[in-house]
Structure 1
Amino acid sequence: MTDGAVPEAAAAGLTVPPPAHPLAMLTADEIRAARAVLDAAGHLGDDVRFVSVVPEEPAKAELLAFSPGGLVDRRLRVLLLDRANGASYDTIVSVTRGAVDHFEKIDTVVSGQLPILDEEFETVQEILDADDTWRRSLARRGLDVSTVRAVPLSAGHYGYEGEAGRRIVRSFGFHQDHEQDHPWAHPVDGLVAYVDLTARTVVQVIDDELVPVPEEPGNFQDPAYTGPARTTLKPIEITQPEGVSFTVEDGVVRWENWTLRLGFNVREGLTLHHISFRDREMGRERSVVHRASIAEMVVPYADPSPVRFWQNYFDQGEYLFGRYTNSLELGCDCLGEIHYTDVVVADENGEPRTIRNAICMHEEDYGVLWKHSDLFAGSNETRRQRRLVISFFTTVGNYDYGFYWYLYLDGTIECESKATGVVFTSGYPEQGREFATEIAPGLGAPFHQHLFSARLDMAVDGQFNAVDEIDAVRVPVSDKNPHGNAFGRQVTRLRSEQEAQRQADGSRGRVWHVVNPDVTNRLGQPVGYALVPEGLPTLLADDSASVTSRAAFATRHLWVTRHADDERYPAGDLVNQHPGGAGLPAWTAADRSIDGEDIVLWHTFGLTHFPRPEDWPVMPVDYAGFALKPVGFFDRNPTLDVPRSSNSGHCHGDGQEPTCH
């Protein structure tokens, strides 16, 4: 359904001037204009909330055809929720034309629910505090409702009668001794409430077992708990007296031979666009990745108990983790010469909110780039590696996640997630828990995974690529291998979407080469980039489990699809309470050709966490990621022109160029 343009849009403040580029970051004026357009069209009201406002990126063909100075129609996708009746709407608004281009009511039975609002989480506390059954269950445990914090969580989908089409969350309770007390140390186990967010009622309270509430605090911010701070660490200062080596102008980053554009939205957080590398020998910019993002993540828990079996969270599709992006602080989150970028998001009333210092960018020394001391030539050469770091941090409930993209001098790209924060806790009775670790006296932490899906819209020296699976293979003794020392590699072209649903295999050193069949290097080989996986476990839930259907993307390390503009999120557009089967399994059912086509790689990576006592009361950072490494993309080492280091006090010279020593 299309409403058309609102009359006198510009005079009414319903339009804004177009941005200079279609991928420019969202501005406060654009958010205000989108709200005004929807209001003028009669789509708002006292109970209507803005669930999300994200830029509706133009079709890929339009982006590739765009040139500076071209016309931009700035469109925003706005998801609306009427809290009075649960009605949900998917809209697209042009803020350059002042028009509602699309307005559709969502069938929440079929399509699932919109992500959960902060306002709804706050409502759950009020609902439970007033519920007699909940209060009696707390009294059974000697707890007053005023000291128990409700922790409402996404409900998933289990086919329960009466839940289809209703906005449901499931809530635990955590005891809080005082205002500064971390309630994660005191889970009220054996108890869960199912809450209808629209009707504002408790659907069911399950009081399964009495488990003692752990008493020991976990207040890691309190010196009385942690003890005095150590005094042995000496300061580390990172300085760049001549300034940084990169520039940022209108969202475009240039560093050494790299160029890219920054983006941000509340669902994916940081996005990178048009990543290219200037090949000095060829004398041209060469594309590598058209668009890169973390497109979804799921955190499935392994406790099968009656009150916890449903625990699995899609922190992007259900919670929109970009809206919880931290404001980063120099010396704490980022160290050195830092360039910060603010981002603007919409709050739940459709008003702009600026997140200060949301994106951090800096350079890091990364040790030796290359080195050789030659016996015959008498040479002794060393060069230092350096990387550009682009990152943001978000806090979703108890966990904090940092996402770091690294660009290296040699053409390598890496992505790394950093998981920290507080593990989700449970009670730990004397008889123990099979699927949890005791991390403090009487305090458990269920086994779980953190699985991320990186969406990599590849463009290796052009838009049409193919994928080869590369395995290291043993060669049996034969006439051609009489001494048994040979080993080789097996190259398998992945030709269709069904063939390209793959698992990593560390025993075979498996990597995937994204190649351009139409472009060769000087040796006649197709130019390429290798996706190098860590190969840690994918989703461990049973094939029949609800989360397996809903998070099918996490069952494979690799999926490859033919590019389509509307295929953005691997678990589907609406994840909250969706029955499953959306996203990658639905798209790949067509089994489209991916050989020499415009293709997208979806890479699952992440952690399987068996919590340790050392993870309590706050978890040291755990890491997961992957790399994209050039393979035949360059004709030789692209860092031969990196100069010798000249850091004062660390090198010496004899009138010639300084020599590392």
Structure 2
Amino acid sequence: MKTRYGIVFLIPLLSILILLTRCAGKKVQAEAMESAAAPLPHPFDPLGESEIRTVKQVLLAEKKIDSTYRFFVINLKEPAKADMLNYKPGDAFQRQAFAVLYDWNTNKTFEAVIDITAKKVKSFEYMAGVTAGGMAGDTLVDKLLKSDPAWMEGLKKRNIHPDSIKTSYVFAGEMGMAPADHREMICTPQYINKKYHELLIDGLVAYVDLTTKKVLKVLDDGGKGYYKPEDIGYFNPAVDTVVAPKTKPLQMSQPEGTSFTIEGYEIKSKSWTFRVGIDNREGLVIRDAKFNDNGTLRPVLYRASVAEMYVPYGSTDMTHAAWNYYDVGAYRMGQGDPKVMNGLKAGADVPMNSKFLSTFFHDERGEPMKLDSVIAVYEEYGGPITRHGRFSHEARNLVVKYFTRVWNYDYGLKWIFHEDGTIDLKAELTGIVGIKGVNRTSDLPGGPDETFNGNYYGTLVAPHVEAVNHQHFFSFRLDLDVDGTENLVEEMNTVAVPPSKTNPYGNAFAKQMSLIRNEGEGQRNLNPASNRHWMIADSKAVNALGQMKSYVIMPGSNAMPYAGTGSGPRKMADFLERQVWVTAYKENETHPAGEYPNSRAIKDGITQWTSDKEDLVGKDVVLWYNLGITHIVRPEEWPIMNTHTLGFTLAPFGFFESNPVIGGKHAKTKTTVVQGTKVPPDVSLCVPLPGEKAQPVLVKR
């Protein structure tokens, strides 16, 4: 009996063991398949977790730094463009990182290049005369100010206990008092209590030199500015909810899957192939965008990113006059603060049918931080791409979306790739507007805060709460390679034709093309009156219709800076003197306000790069587009601002010879005719428009 029961129990036991063995085998096989299916690294891939750790480990091991150093930036050092243009999958490549470090003990900033593959430091250079961007260690200002008699007297005068406040601070920049290479802050007190801490205490300002650890000067208006603790109703997501009428569910589903694929950071659709990534300074980067033209991948856009974002405020008090934020160059697009970083939310930030990509950022100590769902990729219905009578066809747009929070604002970037070769960029602004305390409780004329011609420098959004007038500028670096790197740039203006024998009815108008020959002529402004556009074209050939094979940048709404010419903020942000710049490609020319815009000692931005007026015809060119908005706040934008959108379009112009989405007899192979010269023929001088200096030349065709 014992034997029989033993056999009875043994058989199930053996079956279970066999089953477990098979399951284990399948698991190992599945893991192997998953590993095998994982894409091979690409030279453009963002730095991974282990690579970020390697940067710090190698610098410590070679004794270039110690544990007190802080990392402002750790980024992929991108391979040389010439190498990448010849790169083929499977080619060997090195992974390198670029880092900016700050030594608090000596007030020295260093740039390092680390060979991640070989695990060694390639270069470590002291950057004299500059200081790295914003870091947590700047909170030292609190300690310094609490030991300053003038600061403490200012608080006492206002019956404010020093333990009830903390310090809000910004880089002094051109308004500073310390030597130009010092780490200097302009500081204002604010209450710690969350009910009113976002309303700064007006009328008390200090200059603090963190390099020498000294308070240089305290400005006190004697209590004229508003300083009372005011429960301002600042937005709190825990209690402030959207009260719009409840709507029925809107489902976004693709039961047969997406029409695009994602492999690593490469995205492919039937029309486009490109790569995405995250730069630890610039945020979202689009790379190597090519259009699939009947099986031929034609290059369009080698690299696109926000190279700088500048936010100036327009109130005359020192605190808000100093609010000139370089959100890329000085604050890394908010990507270094784990307390405010959030991934995208399906069904709110992006549609439910979105696919997500994760990446690694880093903190000031050089440690990696993973953020899930930082990039979203999805398809959206774009209305009819074509329609005529009964004929219409759906537009299916491929979208890449990214959001980041920088202080009080949230910024979204939405790149839209259309089936006809068009690329749209939409910048989205939301979050909470910048405010200041004021004495008035009404915007009616005759209030206590009237300033210029009976007006105010902001909009009252609550009693004693003014939303300050301000601007936002996104500076896009667009490295366009239209059918290759040998390009030229032309400006297109639309002009009215004077009445004459050839225009007897006076109704005619025509486009006027002007060649931009060098970087001096490539400093341009928008002109809505002439419908001004810019065309980036292949300089070697024209299409079969005799037209330049080009892409045209179509501006949308925009703005110019209001800070006075010659003022400190205007001088530091001189890249905004033109809305469009065209430069010859240089690997180290990446940020139009310079690499360290919070430092006023060294100026290395776009105004310096273009001073040599380098030739542009037939060269690898970069187009810089400054996209701006002037924000006069509406009361409806408080306590939180609904999303505002602005942008521009890159559209093919002669790149195809007919509509690329139409088949039949129009779906012919695109042909080109060699032009024979890189400079369009029949050139004469272009008449300057008012206020313009360097002019391109008129092209007659």
The answer for the alignment partner of 2:36 in structure 1 is none
Judge conservation of contact 1:20–1:68 (CA < 8 Å) in 2: no
TM-score normalised by structure 2 residue count: 0.83
1:154 to 153, 158, 171: 171
1:449 to 451, 461, 471: 471
Matched, 1:465 2:482: no
Deviations 1:128-180 (A, max 9, x none): 455554343233333333333422212212362x33222112222333544xx
- Distance between the aligned counterparts of 1:563 and 1:103, measured in 2? 25
Deviation at 1:581, TM superposition (A): 4.0
Matched, 1:206 2:216: no
Matched, 1:547 2:574: no
Counterparts of 1:525-604 in structure 2 under 5 Å? 525-579=547-601, 581-604=603-626
Deviation at 1:445, TM superposition (A): 2.2
Taking structure 1 as reference, are residues 595 and 194 closer, same or farther at Cα in structure 2, changes over 3 Å only?
A: same
- Distance between the aligned counterparts of 1:47 and 1:81, measured in 2? 9
TM-score normalised by structure 1 residue count: 0.88
Matched, 1:345 2:361: yes
1:144 to 132, 156, 161: 161
Matched, 1:290 2:305: no
2:232 to 207, 210, 217: 217
The one-letter amino acid paired with 1:426 is K
2:400 to 387, 390, 404: 390
Deviations 1:231-265 (A, max 9, x none): 43322221111122111102111022100011211
Counterparts of 1:190-269 in structure 2 under 5 Å? 190-208=203-221, 209-212=223-226, 213=228, 215-221=230-236, 229-269=243-283
2:645 to 623, 627, 630: 623
Deviations 1:299-353 (A, max 9, x none): 1112223443232110010111143553122223222211111111222111111
Judge conservation of contact 1:298–1:451 (CA < 8 Å) in 2: yes
The one-letter amino acid paired with 2:379 is E
- Distance between the aligned counterparts of 1:566 and 1:446, measured in 2? 36
- Distance between the aligned counterparts of 2:176 and 2:145, measured in 1? 24
Indicate the RMSD between aligned Cα atoms, in angstroms.
Answer: 2.1
Counterparts of 1:54-93 in structure 2 under 5 Å? 54-93=75-114
- Distance between the aligned counterparts of 1:230 and 1:526, measured in 2? 50
- Distance between the aligned counterparts of 1:228 and 1:342, measured in 2? 29
Judge conservation of contact 1:113–1:578 (CA < 8 Å) in 2: no
Judge conservation of contact 1:141–1:210 (CA < 8 Å) in 2: no
Structure of larger gyration radius:
2
Identity of aligned residues (%): 34
The one-letter amino acid paired with 1:421 is G
Deviation at 1:193, TM superposition (A): 2.3
The one-letter amino acid paired with 2:99 is V
The answer for the alignment partner of 1:12 in structure 2 is none
The one-letter amino acid paired with 1:336 is M
Matched, 1:487 2:509: yes
Deviation at 1:556, TM superposition (A): 0.9
- Distance between the aligned counterparts of 2:493 and 2:113, measured in 1? 45
> SS where residue 471 of structure 2 aligns?
strand
The answer for the alignment partner of 1:35 in structure 2 is 56
Q: Which moved more, 1:598-607 or 1:529-538?
A: 529-538
The answer for the alignment partner of 2:292 in structure 1 is 278
> SS where residue 451 of structure 1 aligns?
strand
Judge conservation of contact 2:343–2:374 (CA < 8 Å) in 1: yes
Deviations 1:80-134 (A, max 9, x none): 11112212111111011122111111112xxx211111x2244334444555543
The answer for the alignment partner of 2:311 in structure 1 is 299
- Distance between the aligned counterparts of 1:638 and 1:341, measured in 2? 30
- Count of aligned pairs: 608
Deviation at 1:216, TM superposition (A): 4.1
Deviation at 1:200, TM superposition (A): 4.2
Counterparts of 1:424-439 in structure 2 under 5 Å? 424-430=434-440, 431-432=448-449, 433=451, 434-439=456-461
The answer for the alignment partner of 2:125 in structure 1 is 104
The answer for the alignment partner of 1:659 in structure 2 is none
- Distance between the aligned counterparts of 2:275 and 2:196, measured in 1? 40
2:133 to 115, 120, 135: 115
The one-letter amino acid paired with 2:362 is A
The answer for the alignment partner of 2:4 in structure 1 is none
Counterparts of 1:606-645 in structure 2 under 5 Å? 606-640=628-662
The answer for the alignment partner of 1:336 in structure 2 is 352
- Distance between the aligned counterparts of 1:22 and 1:536, measured in 2? 35
Q: Which runs of 5+ in 1 are unaligned?
A: 1-17, 374-379, 643-661
- Distance between the aligned counterparts of 2:372 and 2:238, measured in 1? 29
Judge conservation of contact 1:120–1:197 (CA < 8 Å) in 2: no
Q: Which moved more, 1:358-367 or 1:168-177?
A: 168-177
Q: Which moved more, 1:301-310 or 1:255-264?
A: 301-310
- Distance between the aligned counterparts of 1:65 and 1:256, measured in 2? 23
> SS where residue 575 of structure 2 aligns?
helix
- Distance between the aligned counterparts of 1:223 and 1:44, measured in 2? 43
The one-letter amino acid paired with 2:553 is L
> SS where residue 471 of structure 1 aligns?
strand
1:355 to 371, 394, 401: 371
